[in-house]
A and B are shown apart, each in its own frame.
Chain A
Amino acid sequence: MLRDSRQRLATALLIMFMILFSAGCGSNYEPDELSYVLLIGIDHGAQNLLRISYLIAVPKNISGPGQGGGGGGQTASVVTIESPSIYASMNMVNSFVGRKISLMHNKGIIFSEAMAKDGSMGVIVPGLTQFRETRGTAFIAVSRQKPEEILTRMKPLLETNPAKYFELLAGNQSFTGYIPSEKLQNFYNELKVGGINPVSILIAISDEKLPPYNGQSNYRSEGDYVAGEMVEKGGVALEAMGAAVFREGKMVGILNGNETSIYSMFRGQYRRRIYTIKDPLKPGNLVIMEVNQAANPRIKVFLTEEGTVIEARFLLEGNVLGVNSLIDYSLPPYRPVLEKAFEEYIEQEARNLVEKTQHEYRSDILGFGNKARHLVLTQKDWEQLNWPVLYENAQVSVEVKYKIRRTGTLLRLMPISKGGSENTQQGE
């Protein structure tokens, strides 16, 4: 047996091929044998447990052969089915869709508000995360209307490929701050970890109505909206604004855009956003600034005799984009005033948010619990601490440092000239 090297080589090769080929080929699918789901909507079913909607890409319309652009047809199609589970629904869809349903390019999962509120969402998400095909980076959202309606009504304006639209929309968080940057994997983590509760993006169908002008415009902060309440028309009939707050896997409330920005600041996920605030020196006017977080937030948690003490520090910096009052905030006497005013504004907003999460929602979405975990040694100790109760009674202090870095490209702001020939009016 196996005397010479040739026999040995042949045997080795044989064994190798046996191993390799028994392993291979099973999960092999041609790219055109799969139907790519771009978005999933999950709702309660009428005659079964779940009603699941899939937004399936139509490749030939997204990039037609040779033409490069869409062939004019529908770029994605919505398929809705009722089934007892998500995975079963994939098979059930394949009883009328030819290509195998694949979640590999699923960009987002939308749950109905009802599912979020009764806790079904918290039950489904771990199972979704477990599946090999789902992407942990898919965004997770709660819709105020029925998910299938959202999928049907949503027609991307600029993008031929709906997947690109969702990715960009969810990615806009980095410069709007109105939505949390919450992905499926984060949601699942926050669901299972004791020191933090999850949030999700809040989306709604816009009513596409512009109320008539009644002669008076009032200031309302740009983040003071939640999805579905914005006054807008055109584009895509969909709004992503604010966040849904969860406690123990159940949705307990919502945050508006401003609160979501502050939430992101606490979580260190805040990138950039434009703030319109009232001018501290001339209250009738506005200052518009672009604010970004200069460093990760510093959050410290202490367990004292009197209770939990939480200290949070934000370091923000920003650029003045426009000043209505024509006060030159680049000048040394004025700049600190504006900085101070904004610091106080954010501190107030942050205190309000903390207050809301402590008492109204009783949910530690800001992740203070995670920062407190190192105070105990074992999981048992942690469970004995009973963090939710501690958090409710915690004393939270927020300190904001704000620095104005740039004040725009004008050296000086000039008032509107009064009829003279000198016409150097500038400013916003």
Chain B
Amino acid sequence: MQLKHWTSKILGYDGPPDSRDFDLVETDEEQESVSEDAGEESIPTSMSRKHKIKKPKKTGSARYRHNANKSGVDSDEDNAERLNQGKSQREIHIDLKTNKKSIEQLFHMPLNKDVVIRVFTLSTEPPVPAFLVFIEGMADTKLINDYILKPLMLLTNLDPGPDISLDTCTNVLQKHLPSNQVKKLTLFEDVVTHVLSGDTVIFFEGCPCAVSTETKGFSHRAVDTARTEQVVQGPQEGFVENMRSNTSLIRRTVRSEKLITEYLQVGFRNNNNMAIMYLADLVNPDLVQEVKRRIKSIKTDYVAESGILEEFIEDQPFSLMPQIIKTERPDRVSSMLSEGKVAIIVDNTPFVMLVPGLLFDFLHSPEDHYVRFPHAIWLRIIRVFAVFLTILLPAFYVAIATFHQEMIPTDLLLSIAAARERVPFPTIVEILLMELSFELVREAGVRVPGIIGPTLGIVGTLILGQAAVAASIVSPILIIIVAVTGLSSYTIPNYAAAFGFRFMRFFFIFLAATMGFFGISSGLFVLLCLLLNMKSFGVPYLAPVAPKTAPSADIILRFPAWQQETRPDYQQPLDVRRQPKLSRVWAIKQSRQPAGGSENEGVD
């Protein structure tokens, strides 16, 4: 009895772990509307594929099962506040001197040489003492000279304001600061944030507020070509470290007033800015809420890069496969935004994250959409093939060479045997040796200084391989196996996914070396189970294949752009339809044009 209990405990399944409480599902109304529509327009399917996917009914209330945990969150917040004490919650004092003192204290003034405080007097009647604070290097000093100090010190007297002393802040704000972004601040916390991000904050005597002026002027890299995701055809621009440039790069492609940029801050030590961007009329609000919830709830001191944030917010930190798309291409981000994904931009990172990231997203390259669709289909097939080669080819070789010799054509087997004649190691050692040296070459190629990088690749691959064969350390066939595996791993467009697949192959090599094909197939089974068990921001990782959802025109094969009528349904966008069924209106004969949608089967 006990054995049965244990067996079911070890091997049985009792629901997802508690940490995963978020499911991106349809609301009841959506489901109803879908089932109502089904009669007339049907779920947007392409061509004649009519089989509809029955979606399981789920109650909307089951979204945040763990909200009850609130008390725990609160205690965490207290904790954070204690850590936050360096940053005062105090309000700005009416007295200028006190304020100055506070600022000096906050920025550790005599010690910290970066922060500059400039004391001056407003040339008003009566003169108002004031000071401004900024950080050398973060703020543009020319801007401060010309557009803050000059108008305030010299030009304010031209305007005999009647009651300037009543509200200096507002007055200066409205009349005397020719700057496009100004803000009234009342808390020292905000002052610190603004100063740290490169703004200049001005304090006035007798005024319980300060004015922040946009003077960001730090040096940053100009927009350059994308380094890690190169395409032959298509836009070449890549993101840069400066977040504002990145948002503008995205906004330049998606010119929609519905494109929303929300700012968040993470890391109470480095206060890094991050933005989430989404199309308000497309994205599922639950998804946005979940992204914000995850980011806001992070309690850490230092998040400087999107990779660090990724680890904080991803669903399965221990999985080999990434669950968040990281890209440095604005065009990729904008196309994903228009699918209903959410972009997370971290300041100082040229990589933008997109959620949810599903397995098939990692096999897509933006170029797939820029070349004609038959070519794109071919690209995709090659890539899927490459994934399997990357994971399985070395393992396959080990399995057939040591367990299943009957599978190899006699000639090949004999030449393998002949080639191994003077090789002192068993196949598994041989292949591990070569795979490890391949990894060495790869890693060294990334780390060496730029100029000798390409040389190293050639040295590593050609000469090392040739020499290893000549020295009878490995057999020549193995060099082919390792080289093909290496090539295939680089055809996977996503760096993290390629990494994951490359790493997996070692598991499969070991399985193959111990158990042959049985090992490989059990490994594949486990891998499949693990992938099936994964979710990225509430969306099953293998969607839309498992679970099967409404057919998509862009999973492995890419249909022509005019047939991609729907957005991925599994991301639950607010608007599923991308374009009407009849998108190529010109393709209909003039006389038949008014007939409309149902005609397009014959034409398209």
Query: Are A and B physically bound partners?
Result: yes
In contact, A2 and B414 (Cβ under 8 angstroms): no
**Cβ distance B533 to chain A, nearest Cβ, rounded Å:** 13
How many A-B contacts at CB < 8 Å in the complex? 106
What sequence of 0s and 1s flags, for each residue 86-101 of chain A, a beta carbon within 8 Å of any chain B beta carbon? 0000000000000000
- Within 8 Å by CB of A28, from B9, B413, B469, B516, lies B516
In contact, A34 and B421 (Cβ under 8 angstroms): no
Asked whether A23 and B420 contact (CB < 8 A) given A62-B414, A105-B406, the answer is no
The complex places the Cα of A50 from the Cα of B544 at a distance, in Å, of 63
Asked whether A64 and B410 contact (CB < 8 A) given A24-B514, A24-B515, A28-B402, the answer is no
- Chain A residues positioned under 8 Å from B111 (CB to CB): none
- Chain A residues positioned under 8 Å from B420 (CB to CB): 30-32
- Among A32, A107, A161, find the residue whose CB has the most chain B CB atoms closer than 10 A: A32
**Cβ distance A360 to chain B, nearest Cβ, rounded Å:** 39
- Among B469, B514, B522, find the residue whose CB has the most chain A CB atoms closer than 10 A: B514
The complex places the Cα of A38 from the Cα of B421 at a distance, in Å, of 19
User: Within 8 Å of chain B (Cβ to Cβ): is A135?
Assistant: yes
User: Within 8 Å of chain B (Cβ to Cβ): is A102?
Assistant: yes
The complex places the Cα of A36 from the Cα of B418 at a distance, in Å, of 12
In contact, B9 and A63 (Cβ under 8 angstroms): no
* Stretch of A8-16, A144-152, A235-243 with 4 or more beta carbons under 8 angstroms from chain B: A8-16
The complex places the Cα of A12 from the Cα of B17 at a distance, in Å, of 17
- Chain B residues positioned under 8 Å from A163 (CB to CB): 410-411, 414
User: Within 8 Å of chain B (Cβ to Cβ): is A20?
Assistant: yes
Complex interface residues of chain A between 107 and 155 (CB less than 8 A to chain B):
107, 133, 135
User: Within 8 Å of chain A (Cβ to Cβ): is B6?
Assistant: yes
In contact, B6 and A2 (Cβ under 8 angstroms): yes
User: Within 8 Å of chain B (Cβ to Cβ): is A201?
Assistant: no
- Within 8 Å by CB of B10, from A15, A30, A32, lies A15
- Within 8 Å by CB of A12, from B11, B413, B515, lies B11
- Among B411, B414, B516, find the residue whose CB has the most chain A CB atoms closer than 10 A: B414
- Within 8 Å by CB of B514, from A8, A20, A57, A105, lies A20
Q: Number of contacting residues on A, CB 8 A?
A: 39
- Chain A residues positioned under 8 Å from B515 (CB to CB): 20, 23-25
- Chain A residues positioned under 8 Å from B414 (CB to CB): 36, 57, 59, 62-63, 161, 163
Closest to A11 in B: B10
- Chain A residues positioned under 8 Å from B511 (CB to CB): 20
The complex places the Cα of A178 from the Cα of B10 at a distance, in Å, of 63
Asked whether A59 and B417 contact (CB < 8 A) given A5-B17, A25-B514, A105-B410, the answer is yes
In contact, B403 and A31 (Cβ under 8 angstroms): no
In contact, A62 and B418 (Cβ under 8 angstroms): yes
**Cβ distance A135 to chain B, nearest Cβ, rounded Å:** 7
User: Within 8 Å of chain B (Cβ to Cβ): is A213?
Assistant: no
Complex interface residues of chain B between 264 and 298 (CB less than 8 A to chain A):
none
In contact, A27 and B401 (Cβ under 8 angstroms): no
- Within 8 Å by CB of A133, from B17, B406, B514, lies B406
**Cβ distance B432 to chain A, nearest Cβ, rounded Å:** 14
In contact, A34 and B405 (Cβ under 8 angstroms): yes
In contact, A24 and B405 (Cβ under 8 angstroms): no
Closest to A134 in B: B406
User: Within 8 Å of chain A (Cβ to Cβ): is B363?
Assistant: no
In contact, B417 and A32 (Cβ under 8 angstroms): yes
**Cβ distance B14 to chain A, nearest Cβ, rounded Å:** 10
Closest to B9 in A: A2
User: Within 8 Å of chain A (Cβ to Cβ): is B584?
Assistant: no
User: Within 8 Å of chain B (Cβ to Cβ): is A65?
Assistant: yes
- Within 8 Å by CB of A105, from B401, B405, B518, B519, lies B405
- Chain B residues positioned under 8 Å from A24 (CB to CB): 514-516, 518-519
- Within 8 Å by CB of B405, from A1, A21, A29, A60, lies A29
Extra contacts besides A31-B413, A163-B411 (9): CB < 8 Å = A5-B17, A24-B519, A28-B402, A32-B421, A38-B410, A57-B414, A62-B414, A65-B421, A161-B414
Q: List 11 A-B contacts (CB under 8 A).
A: A1-B6, A20-B522, A28-B513, A31-B401, A31-B405, A31-B417, A36-B410, A36-B417, A57-B410, A59-B417, A104-B406
Q: When A and B form their complex, which 5 residue pairs have the shortest distance between CB atoms, in order from nearest?
A: A63-B415, A59-B418, A24-B515, A104-B406, A59-B417
